[in-house]
Structure 1
Amino acid sequence: MWRRLATIADAAAIAHIYNQGIEDRVGTFETELRTEAMVASWFDGSHPIVVVEQEQDIIAYASTSSYRARPCYAGVGEFSVYVRRNWRGKGAGKEAMQHLLQACEAAGFWKLISRVFVENTASRGLLRSLGFREVGVYEKHGQLDGIWRDVVIVEYLFQANLSAASFGA
């Protein structure tokens, strides 16, 4: 497996993987499939996106987006990680997250956060193994297919970047 920063040219492959996650109802409340153009809009130059390849075929990705628009949250990113169906459970998600952590630390982020379905034990285990902390549970955070779902809030702190002046340096 090879990991690298993603480019807009990867948008179609990323959309395909994300759409599998949407269809499988494993990691998102989203139900509308994404297009290549929708994913291309994620590339803002500030929020790292990484991909994992096997023989030049993208098999996983991890991405960040802004947490809140307020300046005090500039160094906090929300993240997602998705793996192509036939590669789940084979380490591609871990590869993606390890590279995303490196890219976010280098970009000056001081924290990553996300929410994970409580029953998604594979993702929760992966994140714990990488040093993420489970902060708590949002009960009935949203409905998916008419069913209320709970999510676990996770966070990762970049100790080296915790000074207020570090973001964007």
Structure 2
Amino acid sequence: MRVRLATRANAAAIATIYNQGIEDRVGTFETDLRTEAMVASWFDSRHPIVVVEQDHEIIAYASTSLYRQRPCYAGIAEFSVYVRRDWRGRGAGRLALSHLMHECEAAGFWKLVSRIFVENTASRRLMQRLGFREVGIYEKHGKLDGVWRDVVIVEYLFTRNLAQVERSPR
């Protein structure tokens, strides 16, 4: 497996993988499938996106997006990780997320955050292995297919970047 920064040319493959996650109902509240054009719009920001390839095919990705609009949150990114169905459980998600973490630290982010369905034990295990902290649970955070779902809030602090922000005169 090889990991690298994603490009707009990867939008179709990323959309396919994300749509599998939407269809499987284990990782997102989203129910509307994404198009290549929708995913291509993700590349209009400073937020890193990485892909994992095997034999020149994209098998996983990890992406970041804006956490909140307010300037005080500029160093926080929300993240997601998705793996193609036939590659789940084989290390592609870990490779994608660990590389994304490296890219985010290099870009100056001080925190990554996400929410995970409480019953998604594979994702929760991955977060623990990579040093994420489970902050708490949002109960009845949203409905998916008419059923209330709870989510676990996870975060990862980049202490070096956080220390730089703390020394900043702002």
The question of 1:4 aligning with 2:10 is answered no
Using the TM superposition, give the Cα deviation of residue 26 of structure 1 relative to its aligned residue in structure 2, in angstroms: 1.0
Matched with 1:47 is 47
Matched with 2:63 is 63
Structure 2 unpaired stretches of 5+ = none
Counterpart AA for 2:165: A
Q: Give 3-state SS (helix, strand or coil) of 2:69's partner.
A: coil
Matched with 1:75 is 75
TM-score (norm 2): 0.96
Counterpart AA for 1:133: R
| Runs of 4+ off more than 3 Å | none
**Structure 2: how far apart are the matches of 1:165 and 1:44?**
29
Q: Give 3-state SS (helix, strand or coil) of 1:43's partner.
A: helix
**Structure 2: how far apart are the matches of 1:19 and 1:102?**
26
Question: Per residue, is there more helix in 1 or in 2?
Answer: 2
Using the TM superposition, give the Cα deviation of residue 122 of structure 1 relative to its aligned residue in structure 2, in angstroms: 0.1
Percent identity over the alignment is: 77
Matched with 1:113 is 113
Q: Give 3-state SS (helix, strand or coil) of 2:33's partner.
A: coil
TM-score (norm 1): 0.97
Matched with 2:13 is 13
CA RMSD of aligned residues (A): 1.3
Count of aligned residue pairs for this structure pair = 167
Structure 1 unpaired stretches of 5+ = none
Using the TM superposition, give the Cα deviation of residue 73 of structure 1 relative to its aligned residue in structure 2, in angstroms: 0.2
